[in-house]
A and B are shown apart, each in its own frame.
Chain A
Amino acid sequence: MSRISTSQIFQLAHTNVASARERETQSAEKAATGKNLSRPSQDPAGWVQAAASKAQLAEGESHLRVASLSRNFLEAAEDTLVQLQEGVQRAYELAIAGASTGGGDRLALAAEARTISQAGSATVNAAFAGRYLFGGTQTARPPFAEDGSFSGNQSPIEAPIARGLRVNVAPPTGKFVLGQPDGDDVLTSLRQLATALENDDVDGVREAIEPLRRSNEQLSLARADIGGRLSLVEGAGDAQAAGSINLQDSISRIEDADVLKVFTDLARDQTVFRAALQSSQRLLSSADASFLK
């Protein structure tokens, strides 16, 4: 038979109450924070996985902000191209009309054609958020001079919209506005028509028709190009949003406590703590040797 000393009885009572209290406190902390994992030692592998997911989530959110900014620039460029194309379409109509009408009428059309040409020059010097959109990376000054000469460049401004995926937010000025290498310079086409109409030059007007038609096609292609990039941005954003939900779910599964289980555990641990107190009280009451009086 094992001998039990008085110290052991008190020690046992203390240990029982302390361990019950510790379990109750742990459950209460989980219930209060809703977290199952608050320190790396609780689940080192889970902690690393959650930290990696959080970093990926933060990176994804940053990509989403980049995508949003990129979309703003691309939409501004698209709006500008729409305006420019509307001008070109109207100029094409003026050219058709000018080619089949008398001299007096051509002069009447010339004023509108000149206005469209000037508006076209102003349009391609459009700025958004402090940036001249059509100058490539030369974003600080208007890319087109009054005479139509281009002082920008055709360097892309790439924006990272997802991990390993970039989109060029600079509009394709060279190919679709300047008509390089074998297309038509849109602004030149507009100016040629206005000049031909002003000079009542019916041959010049007829010669301007085809470049304007091709310019219109170029601008359609430019808008399609921008539209494609916007789709890419939208797609990346959607994928990122879906990925974020998955990541948050993954983090939650690692870190968050099962509320139902936590409150069940808390109720159980509170009961155990009360039982430990009562049993310790009984244990200690038998240890005071009063029975010998």
Chain B
Amino acid sequence: MAVNDILEIGRQGLMANRKAMETASNNIANANTPGYTRRRAVMEANGQAVSGNVLVGGGVDVKKVVRLHDPFIQGQILDHSRSLGAARAKADTVHQVESLFSGDAYRLGGLVSGFFGAVRELSVQPEAAAMRDAVVRSADSLAGGFREMSGTLERMKIDIDARIENEVGAANGMMREMAALNGQISQLSRTGHEVNELLDQREGLARTLAQKLGFEISGDDQGNLNLTASGLGILVSGTEANELQVARTAERGQKAAGSLDISLKDAFGLRVVTGAIEQGEIGGLVAARDRVVQTTLGELDRIAHSLGTAVNGIHREGTGADGLGERDLFAVGEDARGAASRIDVDSGLKTDASALSLGYGDAPGENAVLLAIAELESPGVAGTGASERNVATGESLSVLAGRIGVIARDDYGARSHQEALVQQLENYRESLSGVSLEEESVDLLRYQAVFNASAKAMRVGDELLQTILSIKP
């Protein structure tokens, strides 16, 4: 081995350990960067050199900087992120629906009791004009309560659709970004460049997309990440990205007319894929909109229509204090759909409470109609003859609230479960890929020591060289 080799080996030691220190420093700098995967400089001894008849080493080199990650855990995180996105979106929406039936916000039950109570009290004194006014006012409040709750649910649907539109727009941008990253990674890998930053970026993007859209993300032989909607089409394939579009469409299944549908636009045309999006935030929003908000609206419509038509059926047969009959108490329409949003007190009755039917004759003390209406409140009163057309509005509303409570409890549970699962997987990932400052600091000291020693070796080599050069012939 020549003295120069000592200098060269020292130089390699300096270079390799400086690169290792750079890697450790980069790890430290990114300790708080979400999705960052720690790197490790892989050092390898450089061949062998002959010194006389003895084999000595040829120095060291950093062959590559590798990302320390486990594709299996990453796949698991992607899978569960899809479920977590759906669970969170659904639970958040259900929480809003549940709030309508909670605490002070829930007035409808009290309004139902108030209306039937006012009717019942009027039945004792049907000739009292002030009590007739009270019945009309309580009916107006009840109808207003239905409209208010229906309006809140309708606004919720509009808000959900706005969120779906935003999320789909964001997802389209991410799909294009993923296709572009696939291209960059493929190109740079072919030319031997480091692509660790891009891989981190793509993994983070894949995770956000999984959480948002819920479609399957899988790798291929070329190192691309692809996004597919199983059985429906491909959203991202290599460097190509298709597009999702939203449009207001007709009623279909649980989806109401005018709500947004999501379609995939690709080379084969435009196909509705809403039904296939069951996971991810968008899937959760669609499920919450169609299976919770719309179902609640439908049930509210049914209850309002049932109440309105039952009361009207009795009211029309009776006679008011003005001696006239065949009039409705509630304007609710024939169709149950939308009944909660349009139910109101009959306009004639609003201006003149003497149009309120009291009994079946024109005597001022007649109250049979009021008695029959009051009995609609109680569920299945035996022997009163009211059970056949009983609507039990208060009970129906309680059951609806209970049903939403069950859905909410399940959805909160599913959200907690998915959060715990993803957190667990994140812990696995972090224990492998996360940065430990202690570890990196120790590494820095380790590399610094070798760096210093390499410099010392060079100095020794230099001194040897100077010694040799100072030998006088």
Contacts and interface: CB of A to CB of B under 8 A. Distances in A.
Given A11-B430, A54-B113, 19 more contacts: A6-B436, A8-B430, A39-B98, A41-B406, A42-B405, A55-B109, A58-B114, A58-B117, A61-B117, A62-B113, A63-B120, A69-B125, A136-B363, A139-B364, A140-B127, A155-B365, A157-B126, A160-B371, A288-B437
B431 A6 contact: no
Contacts of B399: 48
23 contacts: A3-B436, A7-B31, A7-B430, A7-B435, A8-B431, A11-B426, A11-B430, A40-B404, A41-B408, A41-B412, A42-B405, A47-B402, A58-B114, A61-B117, A62-B120, A129-B128, A131-B365, A137-B359, A155-B365, A158-B123, A164-B381, A169-B124, A292-B438
Contacts of B447: none
Contact of A59 (B31, B38, B113): B113
B101 interface: yes
Contacts of A155: 361, 363, 365-366
Nearest to B110: A58
A153 B363 contact: yes
Interface in A18-58: 38-45, 47-48, 51-52, 54-55, 58
B194 to A, nearest CB: 22
Contacts of B121: 62, 65-66, 69
Contacts of B99: 39
Contacts, number: 185
Contacts of A40: 98, 101-102, 401-402, 404-405, 408
Residue from A41, A129, A158 with most neighbouring chain B CB atoms (10 Å): A41
Interface of B: 31-32, 38, 98-99, 101-103, 109-110, 112-114, 116-117, 120-121, 123-128, 359, 361, 363-367, 371, 374-375, 377-378, 381-384, 394-395, 397-399, 401-406, 408-409, 412, 423, 426-427, 430-439, 441-442, 445
A63 B32 CA distance: 66
A5 interface: yes
B402 to A, nearest CB: 4
B29 to A, nearest CB: 12
Nearest to B101: A40
A8 B434 CA distance: 8
A-B pairs, 4 with minimum CB distance = A5-B434, A40-B405, A44-B405, A62-B117
A289 B439 CA distance: 9
A287 interface: yes
Contacts of A11: 426, 430
A50 B103 CA distance: 12
Interface of A: 2-8, 11, 15, 38-45, 47-48, 51-52, 54-55, 58-59, 61-63, 65-66, 69-70, 73, 129-131, 135-140, 153, 155, 157-160, 163-164, 166, 169-170, 287-289, 292
Contacts of A163: 378, 381
A111 to B, nearest CB: 37
Contacts of B426: 11
Contacts of B31: 5-7
A48 B398 contact: yes
Nearest to A167: B124
B436 A59 contact: no
Nearest to A158: B371
Nearest to B94: A41
Contacts of A131: 125, 127, 365
A97 B397 CA distance: 71
Given A62-B117, A62-B121, A44 B409 contact: yes
Contact of A70 (B124, B364, B408): B124
Given A44-B405, A55-B113, A130-B128, A4 B445 contact: no
A289 B367 contact: no
A61 B116 CA distance: 12
A137 B321 CA distance: 12
A262 to B, nearest CB: 18
A136 B365 contact: yes
Contacts of A140: 127, 364-365
A289 B38 CA distance: 18
A69 B430 CA distance: 74
A164 B394 CA distance: 17
Contacts of A129: 125, 128
A152 to B, nearest CB: 9
A287 B437 contact: yes
B435 A130 contact: no
B98 A41 contact: yes
B6 to A, nearest CB: 32
Contact of A8 (B113, B116, B397, B427): B427
B98 to A, nearest CB: 6
A102 to B, nearest CB: 49
A259 B248 CA distance: 52
B437 A289 contact: yes
Contacts of B442: 292
Given A6-B31, A62-B113, A164-B384, A55 B434 contact: no
Contact of A5 (B375, B397, B401, B430): B430
